[in-house]
């Protein structure tokens, strides 16, 4: 039966590669395997009676209410053209220095990550606004496309991130499950707020590494990032800089400040962020009835996709465990020579490789519930493990051939920029991501210090 569970996992991956919808693939393939198991007497039919409770649990999960609220906030800010003003202002501010435009794109990506958290919208927006300008100013197509793709994925790790909300819910369940298996019947919890606080320093570390790389390229390969002579119409005043930066900073402090200050839960803070985004759009006169309707429809589509995948993944997880797949994974990880280090290394490597072919949502809802309890039962810190997984999943947006950030940029890039150039451009940033993983693995306090200071964990 244990090998049937592994065949189930392989079948899901193959069907996904064939192009079938994710949510229906996860649930449908699992139900087919369960039906065959019931007919052959290899699967306990009573286990399927737990499906309604699982689905109802998803519907009633208050933490997951933050997902559509954060999506609404991000889509509203994207429609309000916050990114356009930020890019114009910071490009005028830093454009005179060699590599300045690349640094501007990175900073804008960071600010958009902390105020929208939607990778696709960020990459597309910056691709439309900054890629033609970077190419026109003599930037290498590889450097320009790599910088835009990498900066756009910062929304995966810098809070408030949708992936951190989903990962926080999954890690919380896995942590409680691991403690119960250890005989701890008053288990500690890990929250989305813990992951938000834990991701802040690693996220800023990634931004710093990106900027250092851009500055190094500007120093050692000046022809790849030439300096720009600013015209009289490109001068920018301090007031213009403050006017461009203040709105997203206000929203960031309102959302993260309310969470880390203990004034609101992540779900309540998501409501604050959604309302703040509406107010900013109204102030900028960018929110008509037609645009609000577009925002709500886009929010509904994205949120429906997330929750349908979550329901499908819940069905898959139930059938996978019914065949004893969790025992196979546990025995495999616990029997590895090298102990906890080897187990973490193997899991990170598997997630990295799966990122070439699977979406981060699929990995979060399918793989993490399987390996999470096993790793946490080995004594790992749940916040540290969650941040390591989040950065690994962020890397999946950049890995060819199926990195979603690459697809987003390819869709809006000029014909002169080839797909091969985009692939070559992201390679150094993938290496930076792996370097960040290594640094956080060596210094876990980078992820655990801030949550400990705020929440006393």
**Predicted local distance difference test score (pLDDT) of residue 384:** 94
Q: Sign of torsion, CA 240 246 247 249?
A: positive
Q: How many CB atoms lie within 10 A of CB 239?
A: 8
Whole-number Å distance between alpha carbons of 178 and 171 = 10
> Higher-confidence residue: 385 or 229?
385
> Which H or E run contains 68?
helix 66-79
**Predicted local distance difference test score (pLDDT) of residue 208:** 94
> Which H or E run contains 15?
helix 2-17
70-93 burial, b at 16+ Cβ within 10 Å, e below that, comes to bbbbbbbbbbbebbbbbbbbbbbb
Using alpha carbons only, give the angle 314, 317, 318 rounded to the nearest 5 degrees. 90
Contact predicate 10/331, CB 8 Å: no
Contact predicate 86/111, CB 8 Å: yes
**Predicted local distance difference test score (pLDDT) of residue 230:** 62
Contact predicate 251/273, CB 8 Å: yes
**pLDDT, tens digit, 9 for 90 and up, residues 311-338:** 888 888 888 888 888 777 778 887 888 7
Predicted confidence band at 116 (pLDDT cuts at 50, 70, 90)?
low
**Predicted local distance difference test score (pLDDT) of residue 21:** 79
Cβ-proximal residues to 345 (8 Å cutoff; 6+ apart), any chain? 338
Mean pLDDT of 326-352: 84
Long-range contacts of 172-177 (CB under 8 A, 24+ apart): 172/63, 173/369, 174/368, 174/369, 174/372, 174/373, 174/376, 174/382, 175/372, 175/373, 175/376, 175/382, 177/372, 177/373
Q: In Å, what is the CA distance from 237 to each residue of 60, 83, 164, 243, 288? A: 50, 18, 36, 10, 30
Q: In Å, what is the CA distance from 48 to each residue of 30, 44, 117, 160, 314? A: 11, 8, 36, 35, 12
Residue 121 has pLDDT above 70, yes or no: no
Residue 228 has pLDDT above 90, yes or no: no
Identify the top-confidence range among 3-7, 184-188, 215-219, 416-420.
215-219
Predicted confidence band at 209 (pLDDT cuts at 50, 70, 90)?
very high
Select from 170, 164, 150 the least CA-distant residue to 117.
164
How would you write 225-281 as a 3-class SS string? CCCCCCCHHHCCCHHHHHHHHHHHHHHHHHHHHHHHCCCCCHHHHHHHHHHHHHHHH
Q: How many CB atoms lie within 10 A of CB 332?
A: 14
Say what percent of the chain tops pLDDT 70. Answer: 94
Whole-number Å distance between alpha carbons of 303 and 296 = 10
**Predicted local distance difference test score (pLDDT) of residue 407:** 78
Q: How many CB atoms lie within 10 A of CB 237?
A: 11
Identify the top-confidence range among 14-18, 411-415, 426-430.
426-430
Predicted confidence band at 235 (pLDDT cuts at 50, 70, 90)?
low
**Predicted local distance difference test score (pLDDT) of residue 387:** 93
**pLDDT, tens digit, 9 for 90 and up, residues 22-57:** 778 888 998 999 999 888 888 888 888 888 888 888
Token code pair at residue 334: 């616990």
Contact predicate 364/170, CB 8 Å: yes
Rounded to a whole number of angstroms, the distance between the first and last alpha carbons of the chain is: 40
Percent helix, strand and coil across the chain, each to the nearest 5 = 80, 0, 20
Residue 99 has pLDDT above 70, yes or no: yes
Predicted confidence band at 189 (pLDDT cuts at 50, 70, 90)?
confident
**Predicted local distance difference test score (pLDDT) of residue 158:** 85
> Higher-confidence residue: 389 or 419?
389
How does DSSP classify residue 413? S
**pLDDT, tens digit, 9 for 90 and up, residues 283-303:** 888 788 888 898 899 888 888
Residue 115 has pLDDT above 80, yes or no: no
- The residue written with tokens 């461009």 in the block is 244
- The residue written with tokens 């187990």 in the block is 343
Angle between helices 289-322 and 162-181 (to 10 degrees): 20
pTM over 0.85: no
Whole-number Å distance between alpha carbons of 372 and 397 = 21
**Predicted local distance difference test score (pLDDT) of residue 233:** 61
Using alpha carbons only, give the angle 83, 86, 87 rounded to the nearest 5 degrees. 85
pLDDT, the chain, mean: 83
Phi, psi of 88 (to 5 degrees): -60, -45
> Higher-confidence residue: 305 or 81?
305
**Predicted local distance difference test score (pLDDT) of residue 445:** 93
How does DSSP classify residue 95? T
What DSSP string runs through 350-367? HHHHHTTTS-HHHIIIII
Whole-number Å distance between alpha carbons of 182 and 161 = 31
> Higher-confidence residue: 166 or 93?
166
């Amino acid at each position: 039966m244990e090998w049937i569970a592994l065949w189930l996992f392989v079948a899901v991956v193959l069907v996904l590669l064939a192009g079938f919808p994710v949510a229906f693939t996860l649930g449908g393939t699992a139900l087919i395997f369960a039906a065959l198991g019931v007919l052959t007497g290899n699967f306990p039919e009573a286990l399927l009676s737990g499906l309604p409770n699982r689905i109802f649990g998803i519907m009633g999960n208050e933490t997951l209410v933050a997902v559509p609220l954060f999506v609404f906030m991000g889509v509203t800010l994207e429609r309000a053209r916050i990114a356009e003003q930020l890019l114009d202002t910071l490009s005028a501010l830093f454009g005179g220095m060699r590599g300045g435009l690349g640094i501007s794109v990175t900073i804008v990506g960071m600010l958009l990550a902390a105020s929208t958290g939607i990778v696709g919208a960020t990459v597309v927006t910056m691709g439309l606004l900054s890629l033609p300008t970077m190419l026109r100013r003599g930037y290498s197509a590889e450097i320009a496309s790599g910088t835009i793709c990498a900066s756009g994925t910062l929304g995966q790790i810098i809070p408030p991130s949708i992936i951190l909300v989903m990962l926080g819910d999954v890690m919380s369940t896995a942590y409680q499950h691991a403690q119960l298996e250890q005989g701890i019947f008053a288990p500690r919890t890990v929250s989305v707020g813990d992951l938000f606080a834990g991701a802040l320093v690693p996220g800023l570390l990634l931004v710093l590494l990106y900027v250092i790389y851009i500055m190094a390229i500007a120093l050692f390969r000046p022809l790849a990032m030439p300096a720009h002579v600013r015209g009289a119409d490109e001068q920018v005043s301090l007031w213009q800089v403050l006017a461009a930066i203040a709105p997203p900073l206000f929203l960031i402090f309102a959302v993260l400040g309310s969470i880390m200050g203990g004034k609101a839960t992540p779900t309540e803070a998501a409501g604050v962020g959604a309302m703040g985004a509406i107010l900013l759009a109204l102030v900028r006169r960018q929110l008509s009835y037609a645009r609000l309707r577009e925002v709500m429809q886009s929010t509904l589509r994205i949120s429906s996709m997330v929750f349908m995948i979550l329901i499908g993944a819940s069905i898959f997880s139930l059938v996978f465990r019914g065949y004893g797949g969790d025992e196979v994974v546990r025995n495999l990880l616990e029997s590895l020579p090298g102990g906890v280090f080897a187990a973490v290394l193997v899991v990170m490597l598997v997630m990295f490789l799966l990122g070439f072919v699977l979406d981060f949502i699929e990995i979060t809802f399918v793989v993490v519930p399987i390996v999470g309890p096993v790793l946490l039962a080995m004594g790992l810190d749940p916040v540290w493990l969650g941040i390591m997984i989040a950065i690994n999943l962020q890397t999946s947006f950049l890995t060819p051939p199926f990195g979603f950030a690459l697809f987003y940029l390819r869709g809006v890039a000029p014909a002169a920029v080839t797909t091969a150039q985009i692939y070559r451009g992201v390679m150094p940033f993938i290496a930076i991501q792996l370097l960040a993983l290594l640094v956080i693995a060596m210094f876990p306090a980078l992820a655990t210090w801030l949550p400990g200071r705020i929440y006393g964990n």
